[in-house]
Amino acid sequence: MRQKSNGFNTPTLNIISIKLPSLSVNESMARAAVAAFCAQADPLSTEIADIKCAVSEAVTNCIVHGYRNTVGIIYITVRLCEGGIIRIDIRDKGCGIEDVKQARQPLYTTDAENERSGMGFTVMESFCDKVRVSSKCGKGTTVTLFKRLQRK
């Protein structure tokens, strides 16, 4: 399996896809499953912690903002790539983001009444090497997280 669709133009060595209902109880399942899959790349414990935190933020965004008060499906694809690169795509088919640039600004939130901090994308960016966000109103959002593992 040598695909070059991981964003760093390096071949994909292994891949997993997961579908979960957008229930808050599944946020921990998503982070654990992604971490377990990434463990085969022998990451540092701090790298696993970074990945788990970024995945938690992206999945929580699907639950809270993407599907709002409904239940939909969260699609997660994880690719282990040559060069110690991990690519994680987290996608929903929810309401979408009207202005991605604005949504990525620290402290911006569409859910202020529930005391959301508006720091989700900022947190993802601080724990990953690259974060891509694509969205269409009424169609959903895809967040792609890239993490390059240190070599031991």
In whole angstroms, give the CA distance from residue 60 to residue 23.
9
In whole angstroms, give the CA distance from residue 8 to residue 6.
6
Calculate the alpha carbon distances from 5 to 75, 85, 152 in Å: 17, 12, 25
The residue from 31, 47, 61, 87 that is catalytic is 61
Q: How many CA atoms lie within 13 A of 93 on its CB side?
A: 7
Catalytic annotation on 61? yes
| Neighbouring-strand partners of residue 21 | 73
The residue from 116, 125, 132, 148 that is catalytic is 116
112-141 residues labelled b (16+ CB within 10 A) or e (exposed): eeeebeeebbbbbbebbeebebebeeeebb
The residue from 6, 27, 47, 57 that is catalytic is 57
Supply the residues annotated as catalytic.
Answer: 57, 61, 116
